[in-house]
Amino acid sequence: MPPSETFRDAALIAVDWGTSRLRAWLLDPRGGVLAEAASDDGIGKVADSHEAVFSRLAADWPSSTPAVMAGMIGSRQGWREVPYVACPATASQIAAGVVRFDAGDRAVAIVPGLVVRSGEGDVLRGEETQIVGLIDGEPAFSGLVILPGTHSKWVRVEAGRIVGFQSFLTGELFDLLSRTSFLRHSVKDDGRDLSRSPGFAPGVRRTAIEEQPFLATLFPVRVRQLVGSVDPGDNLAYLSGLIIGGEIAAARASGRLMPGTPIRLVGSRSLGRAYRVALDLVGFPAETRDGDELVRVGLVHLARVAGLL
C-alpha cells in the first residue's frame, strides 16, 4: 500500500522541535494521530539543513501535507526566525504571528514564542503552544500553568489569555550541580524515583517552607554525605528537593503563587510527579496534564486559526 493510500486522511503534521528533540505527528482533520516519528535532531544538533532533517523524518508521509511547528525551530538558530509575540496574548494573537513558507510541495508554518517586555522581561518558545492546547480543553481556566524542565516556566492564564510568565533555570542547574560541580562526589543517580526517596521532602521543606536562601543550602549537600554519611542516591533526591523547593519559593516571592490559585502541572513521568509532590508539601495541590498531548492539541488549534487546516 503506497503512503498516499495509507495516509489518505492526512491533513496536518504537528511538529514539536526543541533544542534537543524533534517529534512529529501525522494527523487527520480532527487531530487524530495517524502516525508519529521522533529523533534526536534537536536544533542544537542539526548539522544538515532543517529542511533535509525534516524531510527525512517525514519520508513515509505525504509530501504535500502542511506542517505546523513550535519550539526553538522558530529561534535565530532555527529554520526561520519567528519574531516573538508580546504578552499578554490570546491564541488568535499567537496564530497571527505564525510565519509561513513553502518547503517543496509542503506549506510550513512556525509558531512564534512570547516575550514579556515589562519589568525584567522574559521569553519562551514552545510552551505557548502547550498553553494554547490547555486553553483549548479548558477555555474558562484562570490560574497558573507550571511547565517544569531545563528552563521551567510559570505561566499565568486568565480566561483564554496568557497574561504573563516567569522562567527558572531549574533543570539546567540541577544537571550542573549534580553532574559537574563538586557536589557530584556526594550524590549518585542510581535510577531511583527521586520524589519517592526519603531525602526529597526534607529538601523541599528546607527551601520552600523553612525558606532557607537557596545559596545557603548547597554546600550542606556535601556535608550531609561527608560528615553525615547520607546515601548518595538519597542525597540526589535531597538536592532535587532543594532546587524544586527553591523554584517554588522564588515563584511565591514574586506573587505568582497564592493560596487557592488553580494550578495545572504540564509534565509527565518522574519530573511531573516530583513537582506535584513538592507543591503538595507546600500546600498548593496541582492537577497534572500531559505535555505531549497539549502540544499536539495546541498545534492543531493554531493551524486551524491560521488557516492551515
Q: How far is the CB of 2 from a second copy (least distance, A)?
A: 44
- Which SS3 state, helix, strand or coil, does residue 215 take? helix
32-42 burial by CB neighbour count: b if 16+ within 10 A, else e?
A: eebbebeeebb
Provide the angle, in degrees to the nearest 10, between the axes of the packed helices 291-305 and 127-137: 80
Q: Cβ 250 to a second copy, closest distance in Å? A: 4
Question: Given the complex with a second copy, which of 153 and 296 has the nearer CB atom?
Answer: 153
Q: Which of 103, 123, 163, 277 binds a second copy (CB under 8 A)?
A: 123
- In the complex, the smallest distance separating the C-beta of residue 8 from a second copy, rounded to whole angstroms, is 43
Q: In the set 104, 191, 228, 260, which binds a second copy (CB under 8 A)?
A: 228
> Taking CB under 8 A as the rule, does residue 145 contact a second copy?
no
Cell of residue 113, nine digits: 514564542
Q: Report helix, strand or coil for 276.
A: helix
* Residue 211 vs 290, nearer CB to a second copy: 211
Span near a second copy by CB under 8 A; candidates 2-10, 138-146, 214-222, 258-266: 214-222
What region, left, alpha or beta, does residue 126 occupy, with left being phi > 0 and alpha being psi -120 to 50 degrees?
left
Residue with Cβ nearer a second copy (33 or 253): 253
- Tell me the number of residues near a second copy by CB under 8 A: 42
Tell me if 121 contacts a second copy by CB under 8 A.
yes
215 binds a second copy (CB under 8 A): yes
Residues sharing a CB contact under 8 Å with residue 169, sequence separation 6 or more, in sequence order: 150, 151, 152
Contact with a second copy (CB under 8 A) among 212, 268, 270, 288 = 212
224: burial class by Cβ within 10 Å (0-12, 13-18, 19+)? buried
Among the listed ranges 87-95, 167-175, 193-201, 299-307, the one in contact with a second copy (CB under 8 A) is 167-175
Residue 214 sits in the site that holds a second copy (CB under 8 A): yes
Q: How far is the CB of 177 from a second copy (least distance, A)?
A: 8
Cα–Cα distance for residue pair 17/13, rounded to 1 Å: 12
Per CB under 8 A, the segment of 117-125, 136-144, 190-198, 299-307 that binds a second copy is: 117-125
Looking at 151, 161, 184, 188, which residue binds a second copy (CB under 8 A)?
Answer: 151
Q: Which residue, among 22, 8, 17, has the nearest Cα to 61 in the 3D structure?
A: 8
Site for a second copy in 247-266 (CB under 8 A): 247, 249-251, 253-254
Hey, what's the cell of 34?
Answer: 495517524
Q: Dump strand ranges (E) for the chain.
A: 12-17, 22-27, 33-39, 67-70, 85-86, 89-90, 99-103, 106-110, 114-116, 122-124, 142-147, 152-158, 161-168, 263-266, 287-289
Q: Is the dihedral of CA 59, 68, 49, 153 positive or negative?
A: negative
Q: Of 4, 32, 49, 182, which lies in the binding site for a second copy, with binding defined by CB under 8 A? A: 182
- Rounded Cα distance between 290 and 268, Å, is 6
Residue 140 in the binding site for a second copy (CB under 8 A): no
| DSSP character string of 86-97 | ESSEEHHHHHHT
At residue 148, what is the residue type? P
Name the one range near a second copy by CB under 8 A: 7-15, 217-225, 232-240, 276-284: 217-225
Interacting residues toward a second copy by CB under 8 A: 115, 117, 120-123, 151, 166-170, 172-173, 176-177, 180-183, 212-216, 218-220, 222-224, 226-228, 243, 246-247, 249-251, 253-254
